[in-house]
Amino acid sequence: MAALAARAERWPLAAAFVIARGSKTEAEVVVAEIADGPHRGRGEAVPYARYGETVEGVLDQIEGVRRIVEAGAGRGELQALLPPGAARNALDCALWDLEAKRAGVRAWTLAGRARLDPVKTCFTISLGPPGEMAEAARANARRPMLKLKIGGADDLGAVAAVHAAAPRARLIVDANEALSFDELRRLAPELARLEVKLLEQPLAAAEDAALEGYESAVPLCADESLHTRAELAACARRYGLVNIKLDKTGGLTEALALAAEARAMGLGLMVGCMVATSLAMAPALILAQGAAFVDLDGPLLLTRDREPGLTITGSVIEPPSPDLWG
């Protein structure tokens, strides 16, 4: 019989992480471990207040399914035991890791991939005054892609300052639901002029029906509006791309199914993350294969990462070692 353990951890950030909804100085994560004889599977997730989650609530959810998981419930059964979210993500990724170690193969083999290639991640510039954002961009100007948060007093000035400070970097802009439709219509042509490649979640998720029929000068990507396949049809009418995060889908199992269906509908893929350690990023690397945009920079924002962590050279993330995950 397997043994399940779950715990909360705090990981300090190198600098405050600021978005339109607020800021934080540490990553609060939940780690689930499932041990079975000599094998141990781990998964890491981030309880997210935007979706009504707390660390205590996620730990309670995991505790609520302890006996079923310890009795041998697999990833398939887990989808019906818990709703999408951080608790299911931690357990689902732990089960993937455990299954790979039991079988003596890598997790990407279980997912039907012959190999896992390195990916290039963007690097996030927190919301702040344009001068501060430009300074952060200048320090990271050699990175191939920067993602900047907006929702402040001078969004256009901030984007222009970042573009000037890092002219060779491709730019993604993330509004985190901070814009009105009128603001979007005014801002989008200016963002296109500044060569922004993608605009994430401009409107509140509850208000994005306004995007149906709107032709944006910059490609739009759903984030907060998309969690699982249940929202995909609506997103396909409003966006050209979707940002898939394991903490929203409730794990790699649903994320892979969501990605396949999104591709079949002609949507572009972005693979994103919450701020967390390499253990949370590792499963997402399977999902990120072939994605148009990758945002798995969580470990780069921490003062320290777990050991062993992912090998990240500049913005290139190598496949994880089995000691980390999968």
| pLDDT at 153 (0 to 100) | 87
| pLDDT at 21 (0 to 100) | 85
The stretch 110-123 carries a mean pLDDT of 98
pLDDT band at 179 (very low <50, low <70, confident <90, very high): very high
| pLDDT at 18 (0 to 100) | 85
Asked if pLDDT for residue 166 goes beyond 90, the answer is yes
Q: Where are the domains of the chain?
A: 3-110, 119-317
Whole-prediction pTM value?
Answer: 0.96
Asked if pLDDT for residue 255 goes beyond 90, the answer is yes
Which residues are annotated as catalytic? 149, 245
- Give the tens place of pLDDT for each residue, 301-326: 999 999 999 999 999 999 999 999 99
| pLDDT at 1 (0 to 100) | 86
| pLDDT at 31 (0 to 100) | 98
| pLDDT at 64 (0 to 100) | 98
CATH of domain 3-110: 3.30.390.10
> Angle between the 86-103 and 252-264 helix axes, to the nearest 10 degrees?
100
Q: Which residues are CB-neighbours of 179 under 8 A, at least 6 positions away?
A: 150, 151, 187, 202, 203
Longest Cα pair distance anywhere in the chain, in angstroms? 60
The stretch 274-279 carries a mean pLDDT of 98
Asked if pLDDT for residue 20 goes beyond 90, the answer is no
Tokens of 303: 């003062």
User: Looking at residue 223, what DSSP letter applies?
Assistant: S
> How is domain 119-317 classified at the CATH fold level?
TIM Barrel (3.20.20)
CB 202, CB 218: distance < 8 Å: no
The stretch 82-111 carries a mean pLDDT of 98
- Give CA–CA dist 113/252, Å, rounded: 14
The 3-state DSSP class for residue 65 equals coil
